[in-house]
Amino acid sequence: MARKVTLENTRNIGIMAHIDAGKTTTTERILYYTGVNYKIGETHDGTATMDWMAQEQERGITITSAATTCYWKGTKNQFPQTRINIIDTPGHVDFTVEVERSLRVLDGSVTVMCAKGGVEPQSETVWRQADHYKVPRMIYVNKMDIMGADFYHVLDMIHDRLKCNAVPIQLPIGSEST
């Protein structure tokens, strides 16, 4: 049986970060905007698609890596259909082995940073793990709407703590003031 989407048009993308940076929430939005889900699931009320275990739903944290698939053809259907396998990884230090397992199969990853907390300890750990497996990554600064959000401080932290020459491809138009 022929594949619906060729391997050349298939990408395994991981979502990784420190706990509570917004990995699962970001993944839920991706699933909604790509048409996989008709409703956005929320971690705080136990309805997140990716947090499928009862413990995850009760505690509001990811314990095991969870995978799902969405498809993308560009904003105007101008590209061949691309299958994107999204792997939502845990952020808690106790579940670091789950991140390690996922990194072995990734074509790339999105590292989610909280606009207030910036580069936190587990962010550094998963970044080093991604370095080890040579996983290309991009950074998404999340939670720009919370009190104390500071995009430029996070950018400085990325340069200083991750020794990464990150270049913004989009700048925020504002943030919540302190």
What's the confidence (pLDDT) of residue 88?
Answer: 86
The pLDDT-based confidence of 35 (bands split at 50, 70, 90) is confident
pLDDT at 138 over 80: yes
Q: What gap in Å lies between CA 46 and CA 139, rounded to an integer?
A: 26
What's the confidence (pLDDT) of residue 110?
Answer: 95
Per CATH, domain 7-162 is 3.40.50.300: yes
What residue has token string 């560009």?
A: 74
> In what side-by-side order are the strands of the sheet with 108-114?
66-72, 82-88, 10-17, 108-114, 137-142
Q: State the average pLDDT over residues 107-131.
A: 94
Please state at what angle helix 151-162 crosses helix 121-132, rounded to 10 degrees.
Answer: 50
Cβ contacts of 172 within 8 Å, gap of 6 or more: 141, 144, 151
pLDDT at 45 over 70: no
Q: Where are the domains of the chain?
A: 7-162
Cβ contacts of 63 within 8 Å, gap of 6 or more: 53, 55, 56, 90, 92, 95, 98
The candidate with the shortest Cα–Cα distance to 23, out of 90, 68, 71, 120, is 90
Q: Are 54 and 32 in contact (CB under 8 A)?
A: no
The model's pLDDT over 57-104, given as tens digits with 9 standing for 90+, comes to 565 566 667 788 999 888 888 888 899 999 988 766 667 787 888 899
Mean of the per-residue pLDDT values of the chain: 85
pLDDT at 158 over 70: yes
pLDDT at 1 over 70: no
For the chain, where are the E strands, in sequence order? 10-17, 66-72, 82-88, 108-114, 137-142
